[in-house]
Structure 1
Amino acid sequence: MPIEDYEQLLERYKANQCTEEEIAFLESWYMTYREDNVYESLSLSDREKDLNTVGERLGLEIPKKKLQLWPRLTAAAAIFAVIGLGLYFYRSKDHYPVSEYANDIASKGKNTATLTLANGERIELSDAKVGKLADQAGIQISKTKDGQLMYEVKASAGQTASTWNTLSTAKGEQYCVGLPDGTKVWLNNVSSLTYPASFASSKERRVQLKGEAYFEVAKDKLHPFVVKTQQQEVTVLGTHFNINSYTEDNQTTTTLLEGSVKVSAQNGLQSKIIKPGEEVLNAGRDLQVRPANLKATMAWKEGYFRFNNENLENIMNQVSRWYDVDVVYAGNRKELASLTFWGIVSRDKNVSEVLKMIERAEKVKFKIEGRTITVMSN
């Protein structure tokens, strides 16, 4: 792409005239601009001004000291091409060698889950037909045309029994459930949500989460909605928020998009109330409130991997869960795992696309053997 075309693209971006594909293009370009140092047509101050404009609107947390020069927009530099919803990354073979893997692994992404009823019956939702799936204690469970799970109370409050269901996803799966109070929950892969078939006889709407989920809680001032995880409880009346509580990540992050939530540590000694755009980090010590990167938090729900100064261990945990692979480290695991990266790529792409994106930083390289990925220092 000629430099003039890039300049026109930036001007359209500043005028809010870019398509979603063009925004994704600029996003990924911005995250890799540090690799090359030539754009002679603009002064350094002009380059930093435009980079700041793009970065602030994209919500990217790039340290100021790294705002150097624009990337070299020539054949020797990285060339990005937006295809569909994904980003393919090409590089000049003379300047940046592209890894070749012995085999590749396709995305396992499926809109499915397993529903376990109170009586122990298991329903594989990918195989279930649209319509009624089960009746239990005055509650009808149905699968909608768009593949979502819905609960509907068919009996009066006095007739409904206290029955609990569990919705669980395996590697490469995600699913959406509509609870009987009108709350909607999107469940990420390798996660489970345990909840009552009816909240009618309860003073609070309590559910249990393992893994990650995004909640859009129906408003009900008289019946607080409580999400319990291994490390904490989150209490709300009606709001939109995301909880990431994977065991292997050794921390729980609660991110608020709308409304208000109170996060309480499991020991009951500390709690925090946050407002939209903030998140609470619970790593087993004090609860830390900090600004949230909403684009990065919600990337999984939108179908992307999005890494914003993310450490390699967390990245590879995501890769392992989505592609159903094992990850091993050759060499100093602690040193490799602590490396940080930026990038964005569709979760529909083969795993090689994700690995090549990480390798662009020239810090690590990968080897794929069967369903095992080996991480090595570069």
Structure 2
Amino acid sequence: MNNKELENIIVKYLIHQASETEMDQLFFWLKDEQNGRLFYDYVQINYAFEHEMRQFDANKVKRKLEQLMAEEKKIIRLRTMRKIVGYAAVAVLASLLFTGYLLKDEFLNKPVEKHTKIVNNNIETGSNKATLTLGDGSQVALEKGNNYQIENAISDGEGIIYEEGEVNTSEIVYNFLTVPRGGQFHLFLSDGTEIWLNSESQLKYPVSFKKGQTREVELVYGEGYFDVSPSVEHESSKFIVINQSQKIEVLGTEFNLKAYKDESKMITTLIEGKVAVSTATAHKNLEPSQQATLNLKDGTMAVSEVDVYHEISWKEGVFSFRRKPLVEIMKVLSRWYDMDVNFQNSELENVGFNGVIDKDQNIVEILNTIKNLGIIKDYEVINKTIILK
């Protein structure tokens, strides 16, 4: 992205006219911390004060804000960029930036009020970690700093790679990879298929696949992103992912499967290629950017068009939410931060907003942003439990 293109996107961003594609371009450019500093300096000096403040009208802003609050009382749009202002992890308010004014000091960086209760905050940001269960039932803890090697696999503690090769014997040996709350993990299967596992997930898979036969793995529970090695490289053998009563058949593709134990829906999102999603009563063929949602209560399956970015952003280091209620957002965060969340006021559960949250952020930074936006009045952190008020 050249300087002129970047300037155009920043201007559109400030006046709330940037498209999602442009916002994503800006976001990924900002993943470089040095770019984040340049962005902050550029916006603060050239636009936030010089360009936008020339047409700033406080009364007009007040009227617009009152109108906005009346029309969208329960929807507050939040986009938290990856360290936009360097080290402060400041949230950007899309719904309040109709003036293009960066409300840095007066609003976003308000300090935690003294009555906010934080007692023994034991909540840590998630990291790469998992437990590997071998064919004989023995278990190995995989985490950063611990290297591990067996006959057919090697791990640096942040991912695991299985050697290429096929099974020539009749017996297939399976391994389980279990990712706890507060974790994520990355693995390469022996056929070259690449898989990212999200927090609180478990995958069952063969150490090696039988030559010429269907390649099958099982997402026992949780969420996984699959980049499947093409069938043409494996004598046209199919690749199948099973989970409970659902089966996903692929020939070579990228897709995301979300199937948590505590949720009533299983969601399959296709990024590229083709997949067939089947149950005992339903069968759907998906095209790229389509999503199949299986209702586990009645067995029905619906297909819809989606923006895949919001579905797979977790593997890129962020959580992207689009018009999600706070209860769903906190469920996602509770898995990553390995924490419990209680709502003191049940009405807060249905308050919704859009947002992109950096997975490296401290949970208190996120809570302060949500509080400063007025979504919640206050919160408490007691050990590993959050109470929203």
Give the TM-score normalised by structure 2. Answer: 0.71
Q: Secondary structure at the match of 2:334?
A: helix
Tell me which amino acid in the other structure corresponds to 2:140: I
- Residue of structure 1 equivalent to 2:216: 206
Distance 1:361-1:280 versus aligned 2 partners, 3 A rule: farther
1:218 aligns with 2:229: yes
Q: Distance in 1 between matches of 2:246 and 2:288?
A: 19
Q: Secondary structure at the match of 2:176?
A: strand
- Residue of structure 1 equivalent to 2:11: 10
1:123 aligns with 2:140: yes
Q: Is the contact made by 2:107 and 2:372 (CA closer than 8 Å) also made in structure 1?
A: no
Q: Which segment is superposed worse, 222-231 or 343-352?
A: 222-231
Match for residue 129 of structure 2 among 106, 112, 115: 112
Query: Whose helix proportion is higher, 1 or 2?
Result: 2
Distance 1:290-1:7 versus aligned 2 partners, 3 A rule: same
Distance 1:218-1:81 versus aligned 2 partners, 3 A rule: closer
Equivalent residues in 2 for 1:176-325, closer than 5 Å: 176-200=186-210, 203-209=213-219, 210-220=221-231, 222-265=236-279, 268-284=280-296, 285=298, 286-325=300-339
- Residue of structure 2 equivalent to 1:375: 388
Distance 1:320-1:94 versus aligned 2 partners, 3 A rule: closer
Identity of aligned residues (%): 28
Superposition CA RMSD, Å: 3.8
Distance 1:211-1:94 versus aligned 2 partners, 3 A rule: closer
Q: Distance in 1 between matches of 2:358 and 2:88?
A: 4
Q: Distance in 2 between matches of 1:86 and 1:116?
A: 40
Tell me which amino acid in the other structure corresponds to 2:388: V
Q: Secondary structure at the match of 1:181?
A: coil
Q: Distance in 2 between matches of 1:352 and 1:211?
A: 26
1:164 deviation in Å? 1.0
Q: Secondary structure at the match of 1:113?
A: strand
Q: Distance in 2 between matches of 1:292 and 1:371?
A: 34
1:7 deviation in Å? 7.4
Q: Distance in 1 between matches of 2:158 and 2:83?
A: 32
Q: Distance in 2 between matches of 1:180 and 1:256?
A: 23
1:148 deviation in Å? 2.5
Distance 1:276-1:243 versus aligned 2 partners, 3 A rule: same
Q: Distance in 1 between matches of 2:150 and 2:375?
A: 52
Distance 1:256-1:84 versus aligned 2 partners, 3 A rule: farther
Residue correspondences, number: 319
1:148 aligns with 2:165: no
Q: Is the contact made by 2:164 and 2:191 (CA closer than 8 Å) also made in structure 1?
A: no
Distance 1:8-1:274 versus aligned 2 partners, 3 A rule: closer
Distance 1:174-1:153 versus aligned 2 partners, 3 A rule: same
Distance 1:85-1:164 versus aligned 2 partners, 3 A rule: farther
Q: Distance in 2 between matches of 1:303 and 1:95?
A: 23
Q: Distance in 2 between matches of 1:164 and 1:315?
A: 34
1:134 aligns with 2:172: no
Q: Is the contact made by 2:123 and 2:384 (CA closer than 8 Å) also made in structure 1?
A: no
1:212 deviation in Å? 0.6
Gaps of 5+ in 2: 1-5, 44-51, 57-70, 92-102
Distance 1:322-1:160 versus aligned 2 partners, 3 A rule: same
1:115-172 residue CA offsets vs partner (Å, 9 max, x unmatched): 10010111112277546x223xxxx11225x842111256x64237311110011122
- Residue of structure 2 equivalent to 1:50: none
Distance 1:124-1:79 versus aligned 2 partners, 3 A rule: closer
Q: Distance in 2 between matches of 1:95 and 1:174?
A: 30
Q: Secondary structure at the match of 1:186?
A: strand
Q: Secondary structure at the match of 1:310?
A: strand
1:184 deviation in Å? 0.6
1:163-202 residue CA offsets vs partner (Å, 9 max, x unmatched): 1110011122111111111101011111110111121157
Q: Is the contact made by 2:343 and 2:387 (CA closer than 8 Å) also made in structure 1?
A: yes
Q: Distance in 2 between matches of 1:217 and 1:79?
A: 30
Q: Is the contact made by 1:85 and 1:346 (CA closer than 8 Å) also made in structure 2?
A: no
Gaps of 5+ in 1: 30-37, 43-64, 72-77
Q: Is the contact made by 2:255 and 2:268 (CA closer than 8 Å) also made in structure 1?
A: yes
